[in-house]
Amino acid sequence: MGRYRDARRSEDFTALVVRYSDELSRYLARYLGDLALAEDVLQDTFLRVHRKCDLYRDGLPARPWLYAIAIHCAVDALRRSRKLPTIRIDGPCAAAVEEVDPGSLLELLASAAPGPLEELQGRERQEWVRESVARLSEPLRQVLLLAYYQGLSYAEIVGLLGIPLGTVKSRLHGAIAQLREMAERAKRS
């Protein structure tokens, strides 16, 4: 990051994009819940990195600095999206009906791989988690995603969000407690 800030060589910027774009893209997709919006925000993030690279300080890891920019871009995008109505034009398509080969059905039954029921249950569980995380307040969701999905340490989250360590821990604890409550309510219904 320091090399790009000092020399503004396109190779250094390309190296940053290659190194961090997949990771930031996954984070933004989880945080925003919309893949198309996440792609737009990722582009905005790297545009801001280019524009604001003079603000980068030597000795600081680039990863938390990039995450801070990505989070600010995501929050801005969420604010804008709440003001403007959106219409999805890429709705689900009707799936083509495939013929079932009896041989492949026997192989499926004999296979040790998870069957269709287990796969469906797994997808439903993932969707429930995704929806439950999306229902958390923004501060709780932000810390949870950074800690569990992105694997950032407490110290990295503190540096990234500029909040005290105790606040990071209490938000993470609060997020987990709320998810546990949601799970209990879902079991009862």
Write out pLDDT tens, residues 1-47: 888 888 888 898 899 899 999 999 999 998 888 899 999 999 999 99
Side-chain-side CA neighbours of 12 within 13 Å: the count stands at: 13
pLDDT value of position 91: 46
Greatest extent of the chain over all pairs of C-alpha atoms, in Å = 64
Whether residue 174 has pLDDT greater than 50: yes
pLDDT value of position 160: 87
pLDDT classification of 85: cutoffs 50, 70, 90: very low
Average pLDDT over residues 125-153: 88
Encoded tokens for 160: 């990234």
Phi/psi-derived region of residue 58, left when phi > 0, alpha when psi is between -120 and 50, beta in every other case: beta
Encoded tokens for 186: 């879902």
Residue type for 13, please? Answer: F
CA atoms of 16 and 10, how far apart (whole Å):
10
Residue length of the chain: 189
DSSP state at residue 60: S
Question: CA of 92: how far to CAs of 88, 95, 105, 111, in Å?
Answer: 10, 9, 27, 30
Cβ-based neighbours of 18, under 8 Å, separated by 6 or more: none
CA atoms of 173 and 167, how far apart (whole Å):
10
| ∠ Cα 89 94 96 (to 5°) | 140
pLDDT classification of 98: cutoffs 50, 70, 90: very low
Average pLDDT, the chain: 81
Domain architecture of the chain: domains with CATH: 1-85 (1.10.1740.10), 128-189 (1.10.10.10)
pLDDT value of position 116: 65
Name which of 30-44, 109-123, 151-165 the model is least confident about. 109-123
- The residue assigned the tokens 């792609």 is 39
pLDDT classification of 137: cutoffs 50, 70, 90: very high
pLDDT classification of 104: cutoffs 50, 70, 90: low
Encoded tokens for 67: 């995450």
pLDDT classification of 115: cutoffs 50, 70, 90: low
pLDDT value of position 70: 92
